[in-house]
Chains A and B, each alone.
Chain A
Amino acid sequence: MAPAQGGIVLTPAEEKMFEGQPRGFPFGDFDLADVMLPEEDDMGIPSGSDDEQEEDLQTDSGFGNVLVVDNLPSVGPEKFDKLTAILTKIFSGSGRIREGGLFHPMDEEKKMSKGYAFVEYENAEQARAAQSALNGYQLDKVHKFAATLFDEADRLAKVSEDYVEPEERVYTPSENLMDWLSDKRGRDQFVLRYGDETEVCWNDAPRQTAESVYKRSFWTDTFVEWSPRGSALATVHRQGVALWGGKSYGRLMRISHQGVQRLLFSPCERYMLTFSEGPDNRGRPHFVAHIWEIRTGKRLRTFDGPHEEYAVGAVARPDGGMRWPAFRWGGGGVGGDKPVYLAHMKRNAISVYEAPEMAMLDKRSLKMEGVEDWDWAPGGDAVLCAYQTEQGNLPARVVLTRLPDREELRQKNLFSVAGIKMTWHPQGDYLAVQVDKWTKTKKSTHTNFELFSMREKDIPIDMLELPNKGEKIHQLAWEPRGHRFAILHGEGNRPAVSIYNMKDTKSSTPSHGVTLVHSMTGKACTSMHWSPAGRFLLLAGLEGGHNGTFEFWDVEEMTLLNAGEHFMAQEVAWDPTGRCVATILNAAAAMENGFQIWSFSGQPMYKTPHDRFFQLNWRPRPPSLLPEEKQREIVKNLRKYSKRYEEEDDALLAQADTEFLAEREKQLNEWRAWVESRKAYSEEREAFAREQLGERAAAHDRFQLQEVEVSVVVEVKEEPAKL
C-alpha cells in the first residue's frame, strides 16, 4: 500500500476498523522511524520473538483448532474403516470437523492402527468444546479417550519430569494508585499525546498553565486510555496493552494480545476486554476478544471467530462486521461490589456472562425475539434495556430486564416503528427512548420520546412530543447528577435547543413528569455538552461552517454566561469535576494544533499549541467515598469551605506574580546593562554621522517647535438686538 499525500490510504474495510476514532485516524502523516521504539528500550513490552509469544503465534497460524485424541482401540485393517466411521461420528458430535480434518494413522508394519487421532475442527472454539466433551469419553470398558488440544500437547510435552518447588515471591507493596487524588489543591490531570510524546499534566487553571507531571517519548503505539476510575493509564502496542500508574508511572500490568486494536474496561476497573479484528489466515473476517482480570493479568475467557454470530441488529456494520462495542460491561454496583456482567447480542437473544468465571449466566441466553438494539443501564445497576422489532402480530417493544433474576421491570409496546435510539442518564436515573414512527402514508416519520424514570416506583413512562413532530433530532443529552435534559432539534445549520425537566425539585411539593423549561432557536450549535457536575451546558458549533464557536449556559438561571471561539476546534472535553472544559484541535486539521482550557463559565484560561496534536484525555475520578448526606452538607456550607481554598489560590497567585515580576525586573536590568555596554559604540556612530552630514545635520537641529496662536475673523454680522 503506497502512502499517499497526507495520510495512509485505507481500504473501505480498514476504514471501518477505525470507526469512532478521531478523524484521519490512523494518522498517516509520520515516518516509520518516528514510531519505532527507541533502541534498547522496549518499554517492557515483549517483542514477537520472546518465548512467551510462541503459543499465541501458533494459535494464530491455525493449530488452535486441532485436537489430539488418545487411548483409541488399536485394530487391524479389517476393522479400521468401521472404527474410523464410528470415531467420525463421535468427534462430530461436539463440533464440525473440517473436510479431511480427521487423521487416524495406521502402523504399516504391525498392520494395526496406532491408537490415536488428530481432529481438525472449523475453529478454536469448537476444538475447545470438543476437548471438554471428549476427554474422559468412555468408548467401551477399556477405552477411555484422552483428548488434548494440540497446542496444549506441545506444552505438556515440554514439562520437566522433576518437580520444582516454585520460588516464593517476596511481597513488594505497590505504589498508591490514588496518589493523584491527594493533590493539595485538588487539581485534575489530563494526558496529552502530540508528536512522539505522551505527557501527563496537572491542569493548573488558577495559574493558567499546564504543569507537566510525567512525559515519555514513544510511550504508546496508537493511543492511550485512562481506566474508568483513573487509577491506571493504558498504552496500546502491537504486542498488547500495558497499564501504568502510581506516582512514578511505573508499569502495573502488561497484557499480551497481538495486534490489539481496542480495549474496554469494566466500569469498576476490575476487568478489561481487549479486541482485535482482521482477516484470519484464510482471508476471512475474524475477531479475537480476550477478557482479563486486571489485578492478576489472568485471561478469563476468549471469544473469537467470524463476526456473523455477534453482528446482529444495530451492532451489525454494512460489511457484516460488528460495530464497536458489541460486548458491553454492566452491573458492578455504585461501589463496584456487586457482580459484574459482560453481555453481547446475538440473533433473538442476549448472552450474559458473569465475571470472573465468565460462564454464561444460568447457562442460557436471555431470549429476545427480534432483538435489534440493547444497552446496560449505567451507574452500576444490573439492568439492561433491549429493543425488539415487530414480530408478526406482536408489536415492537422496549423492555427493561433486571439480572440475575431476569425479571422484566418494565416494558412498552410501540407501533409502526421506523427506528429507535436509547439515551441513558449518566447515573442511570432516567432512560430516554427516541422513537421514530412512520406516518400513515409511510412516506415520512414522526418522532416522540418515551421517558423512563428509573428511580420512581414502578418506573413511570412519560411521553414527550416536540411541537413539530417531523423535525430532525440531532442529539438528546441528560444532565449528569440532575433531572434535566436538552434536545438539539431542527433543520438547517442553526437548530433549536430545548431544555426539559423531569422532576420539579424547587417547589414545595415535588412533582414528577416532563415539563419544558426553555427553548432557544437559531443556535450555531452542532453538539451539546453538559458539565459532569450538571447545571452548566456548553453549546458547541464544531463543524458545518461554525468553525468552533461556543456558548456557555447556566441552565438553572437560563442565562448565557459567555460565548467564545476556538477557531476550527473539533472536540470538547469537560474535566471530571466540571470546573474546566477543554476544546481541542487535533492533527486532523492542518494548522494550529493544540488545546484551549476554559473555565466552566466560559472564561478562556490558557491555550497550548502542540504540533501534531492527537489526544487530550482528562483523568477520571472514582466516585466519592463520602455518604450522600455528607456531600449534601458540604454543598450547603460551600461558602465556608470555598473561603479557605480561595485564600490558598490568592496566595499562590500572589507568589506567582512576585516571581514573574522579579524575572521581568531581571530581564530589564540585563537589557539596560547591555545597552550601557554599547554606549561608546553608539556615541562614536552619532559623532561620525554628524561629521559626515555636516551642514545638513545642523540644519535639522535648528528646527524648533513653537506654539503659535492665530485668530482669524471669519465673519462680522450686525443684528439689531431685540429687547
Chain B
Amino acid sequence: MRPYVLQGHTRPLNHVLFNAEGDLLVTAGKDSNINLWWTDNGVRAGSFDGHNGVVWTVDMTYDSKMLLSAAGDSSARLWSMETGAELFKFQFNEPARASKFSVGEKLAAVSTDPFMNSKSAIRFFRIAEDPREQSGEEILQLTGPVGRITRVHWVDGNRTLLSSSEDGIVRRWDVETGKCVAQETLHKKQISDMQMSADGTHFITASIDSTAKLVDTQTFEVLKEYKSAAPINSAALSPIFDHVLIGGGQDAAAVTMTAAKAGYFEARFFHKVFCEEFANARGHFSPINSVAFSPDGTSFVTGAEEGNVRLHHFDADYFTTNWDRV
C-alpha cells in the first residue's frame, strides 16, 4: 500500500522507533525535534520540544508513558508522552548519543561522546517511579572504547549491556562490575545501528562498511552476513518473518556525484537465512538513516537524510506468501 510520508523534520532523521504496542511512532532528527505520530493514519500526535541540538536516539517505556532522548546538546531528557512535557534533564559536558531503558525501566543507560578531554562513556541512572523524585546521580560509568558508542542494549536479565561503537567493535559489559567481559571486531568501519531480535537471542549490526551482520547474543558468533553496494546505516529484524530490513545509501557527501538510482537509497528486504535481497521499497532520494519494524510486524518505517519519514503498512499478500519458497 502507498506509504504515509511524514514530513515533520527539516533536517536529516537520526532515529525512528515504534512503541511496544505499535500504535505510536517517535522520530528524532538533526533539527533537534522529536515528533510523535499515530501509526494507523500517519497523523502527528505531538512533539517534544526542548532540545537545542541534534537528537541522536530515543527510547520509550513499555507502557508508552515516558520517553528518553539523547542529544548533541549534551543532555538526555525524560518526557511525558501523555503531555509532551519535559520531566527531567540529565546534563553532561559531552554530547549524548545512545539511550536505553533497562528491562523493567528501573534503570537507563546513556552513552556520551568523546569531547574535549573526556573519553566516550556509558552512564547509568536510576529511573524513579515518580518523575518528581528523579535524580541526575550517576550510579555507574563505563569507559574504555575509543570513538563514539552508537547503540546500547540491555541483555541477560539486565546483568549485561551490549554496546556498538565507531571502531566496528561490539562489546559486552558486566553492569555490576563495570568491566568489559567480551568484545568482537565485527566490522571494518563504524557500526551505525544495532537492533535486537524479538526473542533477544540474536541481533543485527549495520555498518558503513556496506555489510550488516546477524550475531549470536551470547557468543558474538556471526550467523549471517548481508552485503550491499553502499554503506548501511540501519538494519531491523522482522518480529514475525525471517526478514531483514536494511537502509542506507551512498554517503551524503558523495550523493551529488551520482544519480538517485545509483545511490542505493531503497529500503531493501533480505531473507534472513538465504541472505538474498527479495524486495525493495523506493521513495527516498537520500540515504536512509534509520529503519524499524512495528512490534507486530505489519508495518515498517524508514527515516532518511532528506528529512522525510516513510511509514509503510504491508499489503495482504505479504502475509500470505511463503517467503521460504520464493
Of the stretches A367-375, A460-468, A666-674, the one at the interface is A666-674
By a CB distance below 8 angstroms, the chain A residues around B199 are 678, 682, 685-686
Contact residues on A (Cβ < 8 Å of other chain), bracket: 20 to 34
By a CB distance below 8 angstroms, the chain A residues around B261 are 567
By a CB distance below 8 angstroms, the chain A residues around B218 are 678, 681
A692 at the A/B interface (Cβ < 8 Å)? yes
Q: How far is the CB of B230 from chain A (nearest CB, A)?
A: 9
B103 partner, pick from A664, A682, A692, A700, beta carbons under 8 A: A692
A56 at the A/B interface (Cβ < 8 Å)? no
A688 at the A/B interface (Cβ < 8 Å)? yes
By a CB distance below 8 angstroms, the chain B residues around A40 are none
A 221-241 to B, binary, CB cutoff 8 A, 1 in contact else 0? 000000000000000000000
Contact: A688 with B103, CB < 8 Å?
Answer: yes
Q: How far is the CA of A689 from the CA of B102 in the complex (A)?
A: 10
B253 at the A/B interface (Cβ < 8 Å)? no
Number of A-B pairs, beta carbon distance below 8 Å: 66
Contact: B104 with A591, CB < 8 Å?
Answer: no
Q: How far is the CA of A678 from the CA of B200 in the complex (A)?
A: 10
B262 at the A/B interface (Cβ < 8 Å)? yes
B 194-232 to A, binary, CB cutoff 8 A, 1 in contact else 0? 000001111000000000000011100001000001000
A696 partner, pick from B63, B155, B274, beta carbons under 8 A: B63
Q: How far is the CB of B157 from chain A (nearest CB, A)?
A: 4
Q: How far is the CB of A543 from chain B (nearest CB, A)?
A: 15
A671 partner, pick from B104, B156, B273, beta carbons under 8 A: B273
When C-beta atoms are compared, the residue in chain A nearest to B197 turns out to be A682
Contact: B62 with A693, CB < 8 Å?
Answer: yes
B242 at the A/B interface (Cβ < 8 Å)? yes
A 689-722 to B, binary, CB cutoff 8 A, 1 in contact else 0? 1011110110110010000000000000000000
B259 at the A/B interface (Cβ < 8 Å)? yes
Contact: A591 with B262, CB < 8 Å?
Answer: yes
Q: How far is the CB of A524 from chain B (nearest CB, A)?
A: 15
By a CB distance below 8 angstroms, the chain A residues around B229 are 592, 609
B49 at the A/B interface (Cβ < 8 Å)? no
B20 at the A/B interface (Cβ < 8 Å)? yes
Interface residues of A in 72-116 (CB under 8 A from B): none
B184 at the A/B interface (Cβ < 8 Å)? no
Q: Is the interface of A mostly helix, strand, loop or mixed?
A: helix
Interface residues of A in 653-681 (CB under 8 A from B): 664, 667-668, 671, 674-675, 678, 681
Q: Is the interface of B mostly helix, strand, loop or mixed?
A: loop
Contact: A696 with B262, CB < 8 Å?
Answer: no
Contact: A689 with B103, CB < 8 Å?
Answer: yes
A567 partner, pick from B20, B103, B201, B259, beta carbons under 8 A: B259
Contact: A671 with B103, CB < 8 Å?
Answer: no
By a CB distance below 8 angstroms, the chain A residues around B200 are 681-682, 685
Q: How far is the CA of A204 from the CA of B68 in the complex (A)?
A: 56
A167 at the A/B interface (Cβ < 8 Å)? no
Q: How far is the CB of B265 from chain A (nearest CB, A)?
A: 14
Q: How far is the CB of B38 from chain A (nearest CB, A)?
A: 17
Q: How far is the CA of A346 from the CA of B146 in the complex (A)?
A: 71
A582 at the A/B interface (Cβ < 8 Å)? no
A149 at the A/B interface (Cβ < 8 Å)? no
Contact: A667 with B274, CB < 8 Å?
Answer: yes
Q: How far is the CB of B67 from chain A (nearest CB, A)?
A: 16
Contact: B63 with A684, CB < 8 Å?
Answer: no
B137 at the A/B interface (Cβ < 8 Å)? no
Q: How far is the CA of A568 from the CA of B262 in the complex (A)?
A: 10
B130 at the A/B interface (Cβ < 8 Å)? no
B 54-72 to A, binary, CB cutoff 8 A, 1 in contact else 0? 0000000011000000000
By a CB distance below 8 angstroms, the chain A residues around B258 are 591
A547 at the A/B interface (Cβ < 8 Å)? yes
When C-beta atoms are compared, the residue in chain B nearest to A682 turns out to be B199
A689 partner, pick from B104, B216, B242, B272, beta carbons under 8 A: B104
Interface residues of A in 548-594 (CB under 8 A from B): 567-568, 590-592
B176 at the A/B interface (Cβ < 8 Å)? no
Contact: B259 with A685, CB < 8 Å?
Answer: no
Q: How far is the CA of A671 from the CA of B272 in the complex (A)?
A: 9
Contact: B62 with A664, CB < 8 Å?
Answer: no
Q: How far is the CB of A27 from chain B (nearest CB, A)?
A: 20
Contact: B262 with A592, CB < 8 Å?
Answer: yes
B 241-285 to A, binary, CB cutoff 8 A, 1 in contact else 0? 010000000000000011101100000000011100000000000
Q: Given that A567-B259, A567-B261, A697-B62 are known contacts, is A684 also in contact with B157, CB under 8 Å in the complex?
A: yes
When C-beta atoms are compared, the residue in chain B nearest to A609 turns out to be B229
By a CB distance below 8 angstroms, the chain A residues around B155 are 685
Q: How far is the CA of A686 from the CA of B202 in the complex (A)?
A: 14
Q: How far is the CB of A504 from chain B (nearest CB, A)?
A: 44
Q: Given that A591-B262, A678-B201, A700-B20 are known contacts, is A668 also in contact with B62, CB under 8 Å in the complex?
A: no
Q: How far is the CB of B189 from chain A (nearest CB, A)?
A: 17
Q: How far is the CB of B76 from chain A (nearest CB, A)?
A: 21
Q: Given that A684-B157, A688-B157 are known contacts, is A664 also in contact with B274, CB under 8 Å in the complex?
A: yes
Contact: A682 with B201, CB < 8 Å?
Answer: yes
Q: How far is the CB of A686 from chain B (nearest CB, A)?
A: 8
By a CB distance below 8 angstroms, the chain B residues around A567 are 259, 261-262
When C-beta atoms are compared, the residue in chain B nearest to A665 turns out to be B324
B315 at the A/B interface (Cβ < 8 Å)? no
Q: Given that A568-B262, A682-B199 are known contacts, is A674 also in contact with B223, CB under 8 Å in the complex?
A: yes
When C-beta atoms are compared, the residue in chain B nearest to A685 turns out to be B200
When C-beta atoms are compared, the residue in chain B nearest to A684 turns out to be B157
When C-beta atoms are compared, the residue in chain B nearest to A672 turns out to be B273
30 A-B contacts, Cβ less than 8 Å apart?
A: A547-B259, A567-B261, A591-B262, A592-B229, A609-B229, A664-B274, A664-B324, A668-B324, A671-B272, A678-B199, A678-B202, A681-B201, A682-B200, A682-B201, A684-B157, A685-B155, A685-B157, A685-B200, A685-B201, A686-B199, A688-B103, A689-B103, A692-B103, A692-B104, A692-B158, A693-B103, A696-B62, A697-B62, A699-B63, A700-B62
Interface residues of B, Cβ cutoff 8 Å to A: 20-21, 62-63, 103-104, 106, 155-158, 199-202, 216-218, 223, 229, 242, 257-259, 261-262, 272-274, 324
Interface residues of A, Cβ cutoff 8 Å to B: 547, 567-568, 590-592, 609, 664, 667-668, 671, 674-675, 678, 681-682, 684-686, 688-689, 691-694, 696-697, 699-700, 703
A-B pairs with the 10 shortest C-beta distances?
A692-B104, A678-B201, A682-B199, A688-B157, A685-B200, A671-B273, A696-B63, A692-B103, A689-B103, A682-B201
Given contacts A591-B258, A668-B273, A689-B103, 6 further A-B contacts (CB under 8 A): A675-B201, A678-B199, A682-B200, A685-B157, A685-B199, A697-B62
